[in-house]
């Protein structure tokens, strides 16, 4: 069978395409690398879902190679040696199943950073070929279709909206937000209420959040979290127009000079198969999408499919910044208040999203992950690095689990795309299928750390005002592996970009890329809401040409 559309991947960049085009009567095929899970398969089992390879490949079988600069030289480290996995959820719905769901829109100036701030030496910043006004209706669509809850915070950098409220009421909040709000007021900071891609009231067959206390890094067993699977693909299947082939690893695309003709994939058993379609959409997450194109070189595109510009894999965008924390005990809140479980903090600082001199960013606040094994493991040594055991370990665990809680913050800066942050392939490193793996060079721009430290100081002032103890921060140039963008940036010039403004290949008219790969810059926020919105936008365009 020749499908109308073949989508590679099933996450935030894929779901809207499948949803919209199946509703329009088109026959859509999804090739998903992982298995199909549903709510009944998900639990809050830290061993199963966090510490073992249940929803990601074993690194000894399928890995990446990370290039780091040490003492002025680049060195390669296969991730099976380091354990630093860049896989983020190989199941139906992809990494959207495991996101925390902190949803922030980009702002009008995010689409034109080069115009607003000018060229930054050593960075490859470009304006987007579209504007915030082009995206606004689709951000709004995501609020209702995927499900975004919250309450509006008016502040100086707030982006224009076409609706007065989010689609769903705000989630229940932990008592510590009262202390946070009061402290921000005293500092003359804005306490920004963070919208979440988690529904607070029932929607169709999805149940509202039940406040399990295990959210980020875990798939949602109620359907409240706005994963591509729960919010879009379940409905797309009901049309009868969607076919899903799970555990199908696409390793190559074939093409003529003008069109993609076939996708080749391995089944779970290692059997090679192929599929034909009128139109192909890549949404495998940014690193893997670049890898697939580079591995699909042919006589028409000897440097990689859709790569006449030699820009495929270039200008990767992660999220710069770091983390920080402070401890709270019964001197700050009553024990009953402090140990209220499950309710969210949902607060951020965004007063410095823009500054007069440089692009700033966002700081999200949240309690440390509840994972007891990880927490206990982090406490196994004393201040001198000596291993604790017996009563000393028992007392330390009891103190940390029953008498205090750690409020953390995550800093998001606008990662500067640069010549030393890219994906390539190296024939020396291959996965279990014999396919070259992605080689990821993770060079960061010094601006990322500068802005991260600036924002961390603001966050630490809030924690100090709240009365936190043992306040600390760690700002790092290393990327966050779960937030990936760039590698196939879009633009108007085919010589300097891979895709046009509709995320359509400049080279191949029936090839689109709708994961985060299209983004020239990432904004100072997680990328997921923008990926969802853009995919809905591209779906509308595809309807006009197919």
Q: Which of 49, 50, 55, 95 is nearest to 481 (CA)?
A: 95
Per-residue confidence band for 215, with pLDDT thresholds at 50, 70 and 90: confident
Identify the H or E element spanning 260: strand 260-266
Answer whether residue 52 shows pLDDT above 80: no
Predicted confidence at residue 145, as pLDDT, reads 98
Answer whether residue 51 shows pLDDT above 80: no
Instruction: Give the 3-state DSSP-derived string for 373-438, with helices as H, strands as E and coil as C.
Output: HHHHHHCCECCCCCECCHHHHHHHHHHHHHCCEEEEEEEEECCCCCCCEEEEEEEEEECCCCCEEE
Identify the H or E element spanning 462: helix 446-466
Answer whether residue 146 shows pLDDT above 80: yes
Q: Which residues make beta-bridge pairs with 348? A: 192, 364
Q: Which of 461, 482, 449 is nearest to 321 (CA)?
A: 449
For 306, the token pair is 């859709």
Q: How many C-beta atoms surround the C-beta of residue 165 within 10 A?
A: 12
Alpha-carbon distance of 248 to 275, in angstroms, equals 11
Answer whether residue 194 shows pLDDT above 80: yes
Task: Please state, for a pLDDT cut of 90, what percent of the chain lies above it.
Answer: 91
For CA atoms 178, 201, 154, 454, give the dihedral sign.
positive
Residue-wise pLDDT for 62-71, tens only, equals: 999 999 999 9
Is 499 in contact with 518 (CB distance < 8 Å)?
Answer: yes
Per-residue confidence band for 48, with pLDDT thresholds at 50, 70 and 90: confident
Mean pLDDT, all residues of the chain: 95
Alpha-carbon distance of 306 to 129, in angstroms, equals 19
| Residue in the structure block whose two tokens are 């600082």 | 349
Answer whether residue 81 shows pLDDT above 80: yes
| Residues contacting 474, CB < 8 A, separation 6+ | 322, 323, 324
Answer whether residue 358 shows pLDDT above 80: yes
Please state the rounded mean pLDDT for residues 202-209.
94
pTM: 0.97
Per-residue confidence band for 381, with pLDDT thresholds at 50, 70 and 90: very high
For 404, the token pair is 């205090």
Per-residue confidence band for 49, with pLDDT thresholds at 50, 70 and 90: confident
Identify the H or E element spanning 67: strand 65-70
Answer whether residue 370 shows pLDDT above 90: no
Please state the rounded mean pLDDT for residues 447-475.
97
The single-letter DSSP state of residue 241 is -
Answer whether residue 50 shows pLDDT above 90: no
Per-residue confidence band for 481, with pLDDT thresholds at 50, 70 and 90: confident
Answer whether residue 38 shows pLDDT above 80: yes
Residue-wise pLDDT for 275-309, tens only, equals: 999 999 999 999 999 999 999 999 999 999 999 99
Predicted confidence at residue 369, as pLDDT, reads 87
Answer whether residue 431 shows pLDDT above 80: yes
Is 115 in contact with 136 (CB distance < 8 Å)?
Answer: no
Alpha-carbon distance of 116 to 136, in angstroms, equals 20
Task: Please state, for a pLDDT cut of 70, what percent of the chain lies above it.
Answer: 100
Answer whether residue 368 shows pLDDT above 80: yes
């Amino acid at each position: 069978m020749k499908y109308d559309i073949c989508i590679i991947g099933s996450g935030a960049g894929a779901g809207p395409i499948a949803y919209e085009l199946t509703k329009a009567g088109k026959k859509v095929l999804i090739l998903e690398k992982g298995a199909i899970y549903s709510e009944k398969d998900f639990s809050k089992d830290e061993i199963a879902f966090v510490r073992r390879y249940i929803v990601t490949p074993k690194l000894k079988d399928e890995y990446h190679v990370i290039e780091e600069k040490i003492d002025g030289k680049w060195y390669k480290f296969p991730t099976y040696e380091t354990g630093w996995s860049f896989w983020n959820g190989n199941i139906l719905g992809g990494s959207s199943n495991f996101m925390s769901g902190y949803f922030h829109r980009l702002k009008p100036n995010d689409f034109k950073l080069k115009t607003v701030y000018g060229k930054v030496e050593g960075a490859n910043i470009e304006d987007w070929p579209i504007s915030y006004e082009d995206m606004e209706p689709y951000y709004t669509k995501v609020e209702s279709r995927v499900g975004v809850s919250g309450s509006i915070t008016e502040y100086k950098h707030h982006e224009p909206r076409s609706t007065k409220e989010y689609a769903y009421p705000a989630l229940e909040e932990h008592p510590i937000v009262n202390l946070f709000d009061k402290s921000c007021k005293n500092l003359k900071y804005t306490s920004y209420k963070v919208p979440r891609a988690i529904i607070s009231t029932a929607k169709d067959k999805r149940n509202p959040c039940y406040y399990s206390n295990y959210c980020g890094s875990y798939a949602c067993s109620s359907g409240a979290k706005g994963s591509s699977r729960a919010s879009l693909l379940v409905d797309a299947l009901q049309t009868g127009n969607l076919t899903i082939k799970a555990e199908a690893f696409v390793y190559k695309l074939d093409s003529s000079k003008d069109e993609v003709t076939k996708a080749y994939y391995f089944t779970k058993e290692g059997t090679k198969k192929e599929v034909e379609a009128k139109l192909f959409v890549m949404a495998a997450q940014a690193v893997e999408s670049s890898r697939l194109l580079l591995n699909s070189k042919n006589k028409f595109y000897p440097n990689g499919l859709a790569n006449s510009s030699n820009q495929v894999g270039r200008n990767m965008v992660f999220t710069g910044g770091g983390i920080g924390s402070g401890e709270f005990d019964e001197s700050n809140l009553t024990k009953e208040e402090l140990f209220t479980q499950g309710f969210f903090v949902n607060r951020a600082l965004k007063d410095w999203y823009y500054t007069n001199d440089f692009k700033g960013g966002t700081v999200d606040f949240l309690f440390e992950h509840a994972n007891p094994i990880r927490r206990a493991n982090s406490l196994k040594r004393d201040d001198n690095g000596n291993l604790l055991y017996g009563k000393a370990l028992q007392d330390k665990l009891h103190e940390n689990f029953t008498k205090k809680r750690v409020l953390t913050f995550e800093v998001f800066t606008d990662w500067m795309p640069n010549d030393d942050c890219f994906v390539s392939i190296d024939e020396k490193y291959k996965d279990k299928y014999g396919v070259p793996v992605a080689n990821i060079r993770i060079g960061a721009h010094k601006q990322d750390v500068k802005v991260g430290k600036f924002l961390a100081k603001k966050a630490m002032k809030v924690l100090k005002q709240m009365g936190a103890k043992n306040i600390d921060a760690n700002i790092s140039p290393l990327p966050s592996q779960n937030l990936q963008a760039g590698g196939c940036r879009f633009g108007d010039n085919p010589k300097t970009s891979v895709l046009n403004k509709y995320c359509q290949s400049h080279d191949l008219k029936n090839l689109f890329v709708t994961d985060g790969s299209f983004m020239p810059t990432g904004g100072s926020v997680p990328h997921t809401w923008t990926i969802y919105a853009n995919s809905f936008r591209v779906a509308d365009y595809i309807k006009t040409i197919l």
